[in-house]
Structure 1
Amino acid sequence: MAAKVFESIGKFGLALAVAGGVVNSALYNVDAGHRAVIFDRFRGVQDIVVGEGTHFLIPWVQKPIIFDCRSRPRNVPVITGSKDLQNVNITLRILFRPVASQLPRIFTSIGEDYDERVLPSITTEILKSVVARFDAGELITYLPSGQSVLLQLPQ
């Protein structure tokens, strides 16, 4: 009699553990300041951007790709030539964040490491074009107000 009770408790415990595992694999969290894009194995990247909170997905079919949408700093060191052809070693600090509505497009065209692929080349080219306008003496003179020069560039 006791063996049957323990056997039924064991079966119930196993069923409960399997059900808990399936439910746990169907949930995912998106933290504050983050957004998620859903990759479906059958339909590809969905155009829906998922906000903060706990969400459901189809286990083993869908996968959330979570992006950080908070402003993050990045320092880009560049050695470039000035107007009088002298080498200038300058570092640009930028704050960047992705546009949340464009995350599916960013993920499909560039990937999760968009900041490593895109930001260095863009910031290097912009910084080179700004530094090339001035000679070395002007750069030293305009260094405190150099921020206003960079902000006037087209986005």
Structure 2
Amino acid sequence: MGSNQAAVSFLTNIARAAFGLGLGASILNASLYTVDGGERAVLFDRFRGVIDQTVGEGTHFLVPWLQKPFVFDIRTRPHTFSSISGTKDLQMVNLTLRVLSRPDVGRLPDIFKTLGLEYDEKVLPSIGNEVLKAVVAQFNADQLLTERPHVSALVRESLIRRAKDFNIELDDVAITHLSYGAEFSRAVEQKQVAQQEAERSRFVVMKADQERRAAIVRAEGESESAKLISEATAAAGMGLIELRKIEAAKDNVGTMSKNGSLIYLPNNNNMLLGLNPGR
């Protein structure tokens, strides 16, 4: 009997020790939490509320049940959202905005108190639409294309300023897409077609004007040539005409001399007889 009681007592002590170790391990595990790289933690205390101190990377202690950590991702994250806004000339335009955001690490306790862990999803779409509508309303529809860099700069400056009110830092803001309604798109297309037709008509007019100028120049050249010939003829008298007749006669004689069937008779009638060598 004594040996059995000793064995039971020994097993009981082992069980108690194992339970104690397990309980201690559970308490120790519940007392530790880890903050990974690119993260920060905010500690909530049941008695003091949110502690105004941001916890950095590494493994940290807390009081189980009394304290609870909330981990924030502080790395830059992209967000994209769209907005349909009205221009100054009452045209509807669809814009897509992309922003790169991150929280202000020193203000994480305030962000947690006011917005929670999903602070960016709650804030950025609303202030993004607000800024887009305010900026787009300052421009006509065609100015959004011709002055796009200026529009983007205004959107960036306004959105960065508004995000700081919520302790959010913006590393980049860009308009990635811009499109108009169907009616305005058709009007732009018709305007482009009209401009092309106007350019074509202008080219036709310019071509006709150049051809007219060329015809005038040619006519003036022919007139000047005729005038020079007339003046030369008047100055030389009939001698120039006779010279031209002699030159023409020489050309005719040279041509006819190549024909063996013609004989030239030097009489007053300047007769040319056609002889057939075969007879």
How high is the TM-score relative to the length of structure 2? 0.52
Q: Which of residues 18, 23, 27 is equivalent to 1:22?
A: 27
Larger radius of gyration: 2
Contact kept, 8 Å, 2:81 with 2:98, in 1: the verdict is yes
Which stretch shows the higher mean deviation, 58-67 or 142-151? Answer: 142-151
Does 2:141 correspond to 1:123?
no
Query: 5+ residue gaps in structure 1?
Result: none
Identify, as 1 or 2, the structure richer in strand.
1
Does 2:92 correspond to 1:90?
no
Does 2:117 correspond to 1:112?
yes
2:45 maps to what in 1? 40
**Across the two proteins, how many residue pairs are aligned to each other?**
155
Deviation at 1:99, TM superposition (A): 0.4
Contact kept, 8 Å, 2:35 with 2:56, in 1: the verdict is yes
Does 2:58 correspond to 1:53?
yes
Contact kept, 8 Å, 2:30 with 2:64, in 1: the verdict is yes
1:77 maps to what in 2? 82
Which amino acid in the other structure matches residue 70 of structure 2? I
2:145 maps to what in 1? 140
2:73 maps to what in 1? 68
Deviation at 1:13, TM superposition (A): 1.2
Which amino acid in the other structure matches residue 111 of structure 1? G
Distance in 1 (CA, whole Å) between partners of 2:131 and 2:29 is 47
1:70 is paired with a residue whose SS is: coil
Identify, as 1 or 2, the structure richer in helix.
2
Contact kept, 8 Å, 2:135 with 2:151, in 1: the verdict is no
Distance in 2 (CA, whole Å) between partners of 1:152 and 1:106 is 22
Deviation at 1:145, TM superposition (A): 6.7
Distance in 2 (CA, whole Å) between partners of 1:114 and 1:96 is 11
- Structure 1 runs, 4 residues or longer, greater than 6 Å off: none
1:10 maps to what in 2? 15
Deviation at 1:120, TM superposition (A): 1.4
1:97 is paired with a residue whose SS is: strand
With over 3 angstroms needed to count, the CA separation of the structure-2 counterparts of 1:110 and 1:152, relative to structure 1, is: closer
Which stretch shows the higher mean deviation, 86-95 or 8-17? Answer: 8-17
Deviation at 1:137, TM superposition (A): 1.7
Q: Which of residues 87, 100, 109 is equivalent to 2:105?
A: 100
Which stretch shows the higher mean deviation, 143-152 or 32-41? Answer: 143-152
1:101 is paired with a residue whose SS is: helix
1:39 is paired with a residue whose SS is: strand
Distance in 1 (CA, whole Å) between partners of 2:146 and 2:25 is 66
Which amino acid in the other structure matches residue 36 of structure 1? A
How high is the TM-score relative to the length of structure 1? 0.89
RMSD: 1.9
